[in-house]
Amino acid sequence: MNDVDYGSYETTVEQSKRLEKAIQSDPSSFRVLTGDRPTGRLHVGHLFGSLENRVRLQSLNVPIFIVIADYQVLTDRDHADNIDDNVYHLVVDYIASGLEPEKYRTYIFPHSLVPELNQLIIPFLTLVTNAELNRNPTVKEEIQASSQQQINAGMYVYPVHQAADILFCKATVVPVGKDQLPHLELTRTIARRFNIKFKTDTPVFPEPQPLLSNAPTILGLDGSQKMSKSRNNAIMLSASEDETAKCIKTAKTDVDRLITYDPINRPEVSNLLLMASLCTNEDPHALASEIGDAGASRLKSMLTEVLIEYLRPIRKRRQELEKEPDYIRSILKNGAERAREVAQKTLIEVRRAMGMIYE
């Protein structure tokens, strides 16, 4: 058996481009699964980086399963504070941003509500070695970044749980960022090893492919790292218009008054231009020349105006949804019901393949 190949990024980029074309030409032959950890409210980086991509796939009528990975939150911290509140607001952010479970085949559920999914973890754990889990580069980084006194075993095995998240519904496409690629490679390995070890006429699991977002990464307002709430450099979807304006005022820029779009040499200014361009659908170079030598303050006031405008309908919807807790809970309940139907079917196939049907 070959070791898990934690992979080359360049080949994945190429494959992902081909996959995107294949989805465009025959959307309903694919099944998408993606997910988030419920660790807090979502921000503009999530909106442009992943939410809008999901909304786009949804409107192509691809079935989309969205797992809210509540158990995963327990792997890198010593407390379980606010998980329910975070799950609730994650759904609010999803729906406000345009996911529509009532209209499309979009299913949103926390994995703790789908016992059959979790049961897949046990056989899956027997298909990987400790050494492979220890080598996972994303887990290594998370251990480095963790504030825990002691790293719990969940940290090492959550990628196997994630494989269950993906394989329970036999997903073929997983939209992910670069940091999740090792988990996807592990998932593909588990699918392959399962099909070989428990051979049936037709293989139980497909090998899912990663779909890298072609949306550019949005940096935080400090311009140095990815936008992230914990780095305190984010514009939250839940912020008010005044807070948004204040937040943008604090954004880091540089001393050159002439505004140009140059992501390598001027990351801070370029990131602001990029956000403005995503809101207006105008080329960032064109926006830069409109501002010319009016400087960073003009750039900031322009971004404030277009971003507030862009977020207005999302924020209005957010406020309405916050008053409808029963509706939000019903989204999770319906999503989990559908996920359970699918997971039960898969678990029966898995038990049959393993020779564990006794009735």
Task: Please choose, from the candidates 108, 96, 88, 85, the residue with its C-alpha nearest in 3D space to the C-alpha of residue 35.
Answer: 108
State in angstroms the smallest separation of the CB of 67 from ligand TRP: 5
CB closer to ligand TRP out of 33 and 303: 33
Min dist. Cβ of residue 69 to ligand TRP (A): 3
What is the closest distance, in whole angstroms, from the C-beta atom of residue 158 to ligand TRP in the complex? 7
Q: If DSSP codes are grouped into helix, strand and coil, which group holds residue 357?
A: coil
Which residue has the closest beta carbon to ligand TRP? Answer: 35
Q: What tokens were used for 20?
A: 């995107």
* DSSP single-letter state for residue 47: I
Rounded CA-CA distance 112/104 in Å is 23
Residue whose pair of structure tokens reads 């990987």 in the numeric block: 128
Q: At closest approach, how far in Å is the CB of 165 from ligand TRP?
A: 4
C-alpha 51: how far from chain center: 8
- Max distance between CA atoms of the chain, in angstroms, equals 77
Is the Cβ of residue 180 or residue 304 nearer to ligand TRP in the bound state? 180
Query: Between residues 75 and 304, which has the closer beta carbon with respect to ligand TRP?
Result: 75
CB 87 within 8 A of CB 214: no
Q: List contacts with ligand TRP (CB under 6 A).
A: 33-37, 67, 69, 72, 162, 165-166, 174, 176, 180
Full 3-state SS string of 190-240: HHHHHHHHCCCCCCCCCCCEEEECCCCCCECCCCCCECCHHHCCCCECCCC
Comparing CB distances to ligand TRP, the nearer of 34 and 213 is 34
Is the C-alpha dihedral spanning 299, 301, 306, 307 positive or negative?
positive
Residue 21 CB, shortest distance to ligand TRP, in Å, is 22
Smallest separation, CB 290 to ligand TRP (Å):
36
Taking the complex as a whole, how short is the minimal distance between the CB of residue 179 and ligand TRP, in angstroms?
A: 8
Which is nearest to 37 in space by CA: 162, 214, 212? 162
Give the residue with the Cβ less far from ligand TRP, 69 or 133.
69
CA–CA distance, 182 with 71 (Å, rounded to integer): 19
Indicate the residue among 36 and 268 with the shorter CB distance to ligand TRP.
36
Residue 12 tokens read as 């994945």
Residue whose CB is less far from ligand TRP, 37 or 41? 37
